[in-house]
Amino acid sequence: MTTAAARRHERRVSPVFLAILAVMAVTGWAVWTDFAASPGLAVFLFVTSAWVVSLCLHEYAHARTALHGGDITVGAKGYLTLNPLAYTHAVLSVVLPVLFVIMGGIGLPGGAVFIEQGRIKGRWKHSLISAAGPLANVLFAIVCTAPFWLDALDGVPPAFRYALAFLAFLQVTAALLNFLPVPGLDGYGVVEPWLSYKVKRQIEPYAPYGFFIVIALLFVPQINNAFFDAIDALMRGLGVPEASRYCGSQLFRVWEGAPPESCRV
């Protein structure tokens, strides 16, 4: 295989990603047309598949930015194919975030692609590579909420509107969590290049536990309330009513039975 052919192969979109995209499209159509016998099941499949698509785009954004920053190895690792199975930690990148959505209804930051930091020259490049992932979530949230902030909801079926609102909520929570300057999260990767060597050495022993500490802190009522107050403020800023997000989450939880009367479609 020639070098050019190898590069094309490294950047070819994975059939796995295309299959997930197809599930998202079909179930999105089912939600829009009310084709499914169970609207909740259609919403669940649509939101879950769209969430996995966003996780793939998150990791792709890291890898693509790293490629332009100087790490030419990301292609050979399969990171440019959007294949979730190619990630360094597929469980952390996909399985765990999906489980958290199902169990807790929040967008958990995914795992990571392995970037060879030594190939990246310049602090700004390092920061941008770290920021690229959560910025992909921000962009996804903006797209999901476009009908709301453009006041273009006429003709949008309620179930689809609710699903978009809940999906946007997941993107906003993922972006906000990921931008926290905590070791193990992308936010720390943004600020780390600007820290002194001494500070980085002091933080290093705690790096493997940063993510778990954040999750544990979310169980503290005061912190939990402050976090979700910030999320609610951002969602309102994007024009999404709390009722739409709530109904989306209720339809998503298909295993809990029929949603409240106010959310039935």
* SS3 call for 131: helix
Give the lowest-confidence range in 34-38, 40-44, 166-170: 34-38
Q: What is the mean pLDDT of residues 19-33?
A: 95
Rounded distance between C-alpha atoms, residue 215 and residue 209, angstroms: 10
Tens-digit pLDDT profile for residues 90-138: 666 677 777 778 776 777 766 677 888 889 999 999 999 999 999 999 9
What integer best gives the mean pLDDT of the chain? 88
Residue 57, token pair as written in the block? 């785009």
Are 166 and 248 in contact by the 8 Å Cβ rule? The answer is: yes
The residues that are catalytic are 59
Residues in CB range of 133: below 8 A, 6 or more apart: 58, 59, 61, 62, 178, 186
Dist. CA 185–CA 178, nearest whole Å? 5
Residue 260 pLDDT:
83
**How do residues 41-64 score in pLDDT, each as one tens digit?**
999 999 999 999 998 999 999 999
Q: What is the span of the domain harbouring residue 208?
A: 3-263
pLDDT at residue 96 in the model: 75
The mean pLDDT of 212-216, rounded to a whole number, is 88
Mean per-residue pLDDT, 5-31: 87
Work out the pLDDT band at 27, boundaries 50, 70, 90: very high
Asked whether 162 and 248 are in contact (CB, 8 A), the reply is yes
CA distance 10 to 33: 37
Q: Higher confidence at residue 117 or residue 89?
A: 117
**Under the phi-then-psi rule, with left for phi > 0, alpha for psi from -120 to 50, and beta for the rest, what region is 78?**
left
pLDDT at 109: 66
Contact between 126 and 59 under an 8 Å Cβ cutoff? The reply is no
- 208 or 144, higher pLDDT: 144
Q: For 218-235, what is the mean pLDDT? A: 93
Q: Is the pLDDT of residue 205 over 70?
A: yes
The pLDDT value given to residue 240: 94
pLDDT digits (tens, 9 = 90+) for 228-260: 999 999 999 999 999 999 999 999 998 888 888
- Cα diameter, the chain: 61
Of 83-92, 205-214, 247-256, give the lowest mean pLDDT range.
Answer: 83-92
Residue 61 and residue 132 in contact, taking contact as beta carbons nearer than 8 Å: yes
Of 94, 83, 116, 110, which is closest to residue 14 (Cα–Cα)? 83
Q: How many domains does the chain have?
A: 1
Instruction: Name the DSSP class of 122.
Output: S
Cα–Cα nearest to 227, from 169, 185, 187: 169
